[in-house]
Structure formats: C-alpha cells, structure tokens
Amino acid sequence: MGRPVLLFLGFLIPGFAVPVPLALRALSNLHLSTSVVSRPAVVMEYSIHYIQQKVDHFGFKTDKTFKQRYLIADRHWKRDGGSILFYTGNEGDIIWFCNNTGFMWDVAEELKAMLVFAEHRYYGESLPFGANSFKDSRHLNFLTSEQALADFAELIKYLKRTVPGADNQPVIAVGGSYGGMLAAWFRMQYPHVVVGALAASAPIWQFEDLVPCGVFMEIVTTDFRKSDPDCSESIRRSWDAINRLSTTGAGLHWLSEALQLCTPLTNSQDVQRLKDWISETWVNLAMVDYPYESNFLQPLPAWPVKVVCQYLKNPSVSDTQLLQNIFKALNVYYNYSGQAMCLNMSEISTSSLGYLGWSYQACTEMVMPLCTNGVDDMFEPHTWDLKKFSDDCFNLWGVKPRPSWITTMYGGKNISSHTNIIFSNGDLDPWSGGGVTKNITDTLVAITIREGAHHLDLRANNAFDPMSVLLARSLEVKYMKQWIRDFYDSLRKKH
Ligand SMILES: *[C@@H]1O[C@H](CO)[C@@H](O)[C@H](O)[C@H]1NC(C)=O
Ligand SMILES: *[C@@H]1O[C@H](CO)[C@@H](O)[C@H](O)[C@H]1NC(C)=O
Ligand SMILES: *[C@@H]1O[C@H](CO)[C@@H](O)[C@H](O)[C@H]1NC(C)=O
Ligand SMILES: *[C@@H]1O[C@H](CO)[C@@H](O)[C@H](O)[C@H]1NC(C)=O
Ligand SMILES: *[C@@H]1O[C@H](CO)[C@@H](O)[C@H](O)[C@H]1NC(C)=O
C-alpha cells in the first residue's frame, strides 16, 4: 500500500474526489510560515500533559491503557468565577489545532477561562498501541467517536479532581470541523460534564440522506461562480479538455509539461489521479477562502478563490490554452511561496493531520456521501456508490462501514431535546451544506457567517475580518457567558 491515505484524499474511489479531509491538508511549506502568516496577537503559552486512559471504555475484557496528550493554558484563568474552555480535538496533532484556534486565546481573558486542548486518540502522540496503532483492524478497533468522547469525559473528571479550583467551574466544549461535531455530540451525550458547546463548521448532517449528497460540491462551485461565472465554467470545461488531450501519448506528454508535473502522466489511471487532485485543489481553496493571507493548508493570498479566478476568465479557448490557464490557477495554490520546482500530485502536505486514522474513520463511522452531476456543479458527474465504497474500505482496512450508526447514536435531525449548542457555519464553506444553519430551539442556535469559509470564527482576530465574523464571535461569547452565568446561578441555589 504505497499510499494508504488514499481514501482521505479522494483517490480511493476512481473518478471522484471524495471527502477531502474535514480538517484538511496542511502546511507543506512550514519553513515559510513566518513570512506569510499573520502572527497571533496573543501569546500562546501552554503546558503539555498526559493522562492515562483506558484503551476500551466500553468493555471489561482488557485493562490496557495509553497516554493521551493534552495542553493547558491558564494565564487568564480565575479560580473565582472562571470557566474552562475545552477543545475537543479532531483528526490531527493537537498542537496544530491549538495553533489554529486563536478564538479561544482571544476570549480567554474575558471569560476568565482556562484553555484545555485534548488530543483525539490515534492522532498526534496519543496512540493507543504506539507504532502498531494502525497495523490492522484489531488495533484500530478502539478508534471511534464514542471512545474519543469518553476520553474527554474522563479527562475533565480528572482535571476537576486534581486541579485546585477547577471542581466548581463550568466547562464549555469548543471544536471545529470533525472537532465541532465532537463538541456538539459531547454536549448531547455528556450534558452533566459540559454546560454547552460551540460547534464550528460541524457537518453533523452530512450522513445517510439527511442532506442531498450533491450539496457539498455545489457550494464549492458557487464559491467559484460568485467570483466569476466564467471561472466555474472554465473549470467545468477543463475535464473534457484533459480527457481529449489524454487520448494520445503526445497529449499526455504535453499535459505533464504544461502542468509542470513532477512525475509525468503515463496511463489513464494517472489521468484520473490528476483530475481528482485538481478537484481536491478547488475544494481546498473553497474551504480556506479566508479574507486575509493565511497558511492553514498552504501559504495563500487573501481571498484565494478570487486570485485563482483571475486566470480563468475565458472558458471559450482551445484545450491547450484552457489547461495553461488551469496551470496558472493551480500555481496560486501550490506555488504562492514561489518555491515549488514542480507540481507534485502525491505530496501529502502535512504531518499534522492523521491521514491513516481519518481514512479508517471514514471507512467505519464517518461515512459522508458526496456526489456530483456536472450540471449543478462544475465537476465530472459521479454518483455515490455505497457498495463500491464499502468494498474499497474492506480492501483497505478489512472492515465495512456502518453508514447509519452515527444517526442512531447521535439522533440525526432529531436533536431538539438537547440544549446549549451553537452551530456556526460560513456560507463559503462546502461543509456548511451538512451543517445546522437554522435555529432548532432557543438554545440550539445556528449562526451563519456570510463571508466565512471553514470555521473562520475559530481563527484569531484579524484586521481583515469581515463584519459577519465579528458579529458571529460576539454572539458566541454572549451565549457562552449566559451558560456560565446559569451555571453559577444554579450553584448558588444549591447552597
Ligand atoms: C505551532 O506554532 C508554533 C509557533 O508558531 C510552531 O513553532 C509550531 O511548529 C506549530 N506546531 C504545529 C504542529 O503547527
Ligand atoms: C514557482 O514560482 C517561481 C517564482 O515565480 C517560479 O520560478 C517557478 O517556476 C514556479 N514553479 C512552478 C512549478 O511553476
Ligand atoms: C512528491 O511527494 C512525495 C510524497 O511526499 C515524495 O515522496 C516525492 O519525493 C515527491 N516528488 C518530487 C519529485 O518532489
Ligand atoms: C426522526 O423523527 C422522525 C419523525 O418522528 C422519524 O420519522 C425519523 O425516523 C427519526 N429519525 C431518527 C434518525 O431517529
Ligand atoms: C438564531 O437565533 C438567534 C437569536 O435570536 C439569532 O441571532 C440568529 O440570527 C438566528 N439564526 C439564524 C440562522 O436565523
């Protein structure tokens, strides 16, 4: 298995770029980050800790334990009237999420909050079986959202027991993307442990048929079309242009040169990989279409979709001209730094995300159907084929997905009996299609951010933040303060 992460990146299912990582690919040019990243306004000082967790919270057969990593930042924490903001870690290195969740750092002082960032099992350093964790389905058996939530609950209990002053404080779960789903589910399953949850860009309805499978790629397309209708049309036409050029050896050679690929295309599988890789690039750009220069997945300019679309203004050109334009557009994503020697279709840009772990999760619980029709979106048509998906998963991991388990476990759309969850979504974010974008009850509230891409609200304050995200953040803080007040009020009533 040369590239076991294929599912995660979308190459497992030929002909279709499957779910791009929820939390995405990242930082291929780490060494450049200081020059292009806007530096956080607050100092991020934290201490690193480990807690011994049971490998299996739900059975009694094994006593095995492992070390879960977590971070604590208590510079602004007040024992008197304070709070605890608890980041429910997702599919990657917790330090990377800590680095990219400036919002928590920005509000810590106002909420007198201790910040805790808990790493998700099987990611970063929190590996239940060390180097053997991904060896086979037996070792991976304990990689589920339920086990991860149980880890979080145990950790909070432990902190309350051992950190003087923490015992009588309200805890609020915060998370983005898959971590946002975990934050919401944590409040649903453990309402006695957290008083509320901020679930940013959490596609809790991207399961089964809760939302149409095409909505994700339609939003990607809308982002490009809003920038310029000729842009999405250029992309739509590029697939056939690639197909036509790929029919001859000379055409393959031309394409490899024109796109400056590190490895030349030699057969139809390579061509499919090329199309998947290009699709994934447009998806990633939609997700990180932030209003300022940033380096979440790649070093990128402000409003990168707009920059890309500058090169795709004319769909009615020859195939070769169109692909030369596509190359210039790809270069915005892969070569903003000016350092790329060639474009590498197999480059996995970050070690901060756990591709193996997410591939397994996508093949078990996290089955998120995606499809395209080429009409409402700018991609080649591709239906969602659960049978094929399941077979591919079986070949890869020796397990078959249980696509309806998540809705059985967490309620699907029937969640109105829960309380105190904020669902925030950016209109530009393709994952908003599977998110909660309408208020469900007074305490299950949806906040939409018109100019927001993937959990923009969780990022640090920035001078170029649009008004919509400033409003969203202030509303989020307002709700969190209310939960904290309610907690202390009920504590007083008890005494
Ligand atoms: C987090 O940020 C620090 C400071 O900028 C940097 O040194 C470190 O490499 C980052 N770690 C990750 C995993 O992103
Ligand atoms: C990346 O940008 C630099 C500077 O503009 C350029 O010299 C180089 O050829 C580009 N790389 C690719 C693969 O286009
Ligand atoms: C492309 O990326 C892969 C995976 O990171 C790496 O092994 C390979 O050396 C790269 N190829 C080139 C030509 O840079
Ligand atoms: C949600 O409730 C509706 C109406 O009561 C019901 O038809 C549906 O099966 C429920 N869904 C789940 C996942 O329980
Ligand atoms: C949900 O309700 C809150 C409070 O009334 C409001 O601020 C917010 O805009 C509503 N959200 C949506 C998506 O309508």
| Residue 446 CA, ligand 5 centroid: distance in Å | 6
Q: What is the pTM of this model?
A: 0.92
pLDDT band at 11 (very low <50, low <70, confident <90, very high): very low
Average pLDDT for the chain: 91
Task: Please give the Cα distance from 459 to 42 (Å, whole number).
Answer: 12
Q: Which atom of ligand 2 is nearest to the CA of 343?
A: 13
Reply yes or no on whether the pLDDT at 244 is more than 60. yes
Separation of CA 228 and ligand 2 centre (Å)? 25
Residue 386 Cβ inside 6 Å of ligand 2? The answer reads: no
Instruction: Give the model confidence (pLDDT) of 373-402 as tens digits.
Output: 999 999 999 999 999 999 999 999 999 999
> Does residue 21 have a pLDDT over 70?
no
Q: Which two tokens stand for residue 353?
A: 């995300």
Mean pLDDT for 296-303 is: 90
Tell me: the pLDDT tens digits for 154-188?
999 999 999 999 999 999 999 999 999 999 999 99
Burial class (CB in 10 A: 0-12, 13-18, 19+), 200: buried
pLDDT of residue 352: 82
pLDDT (tens digit per residue) in 74-115: 999 999 999 999 999 999 999 999 999 999 999 999 999 999
For residue 326, the model assigns a pLDDT of: 98
Q: State yes or no: pLDDT of 34 exceeds 80.
A: no
Q: What pLDDT was estimated at residue 349?
A: 61
What SS3 string covers the chain?
CCCCCHHHHCCCCCCCCCCCCCCCCCCCCHHHHHHHCCCCCCCCCCEEEEEEEECCCCCCCCCCEEEEEEEEECCCCCCCCCEEEEEECCCECHHHHHHCCHHHHHHCCCCCEEEEEECCCCECCECCCHHHCCCCHHHHCCCCHHHHHHHHHHHHHHHHHHCCCCCCCCEEEEEECHHHHHHHHHHHHCCCCCCEEEEECCCCCCCCCCCCCCHHHHHHHHHHHHHCHHHHHHHHHHHHHHHHHCCCHHHHHHHHHHCCECCCCCCHHHHHHHHHHHHHHHHHHHHCCCCCCEECCCEECCCHHHHHHCCCCCCCCCHHHHHHHHHHHHHHHHCCCCCCCCECCCCCCCCCECHHHHHHHHCCCCCCCCCECCCCCCCCCECCCHHHHHHHHHHHHCCCCCCCHHHHHHCCCCCCCCCCEEEEEECCCHHHHHCCCCCCCCCEEEEEECCCCCCHHHCCCCCCCCHHHHHHHHHHHHHHHHHHHHHHHHHHHHC
Instruction: Give the closest residue (by CA) to ligand 2 atom 9.
Output: 341
Annotated catalytic residue, options 83, 133, 145, 177: 177
177 is catalytic: yes
Other Cβ atoms closer than 10 A to 211: 18
Q: Which atom of ligand 5 is nearest to the CA of 437?
A: 13
Segment 401-457, tens digit of pLDDT = 999 999 999 999 999 999 999 999 999 999 999 999 999 999 999 999 999 999 999
**What pLDDT is stored for residue 495 in this prediction?**
76
Q: For residue 72, is pLDDT > 90? A: yes
Q: Is the CB of 262 under 6 A from ligand 3?
A: yes
| Per-residue confidence (pLDDT) for residue 41, from 0 to 100 | 59
Rounded to an integer, the average pLDDT of 471-477 is 98
Q: What is the pLDDT of residue 19?
A: 38
Q: Is the pLDDT of residue 151 over 80?
A: yes
Q: Distance from the CA of 156 to the center of ligand 2, in angstroms? A: 49
C-alpha span between 453 and 201 (Å, rounded): 9
Taking residues 46-62, report their average pLDDT.
97
47 CB under 6 A from ligand 4?
no
pLDDT at 298: 83
Task: Supply the pLDDT for residue 350.
Answer: 64
Task: Say yes or no to pLDDT of 1 above 80.
Answer: no
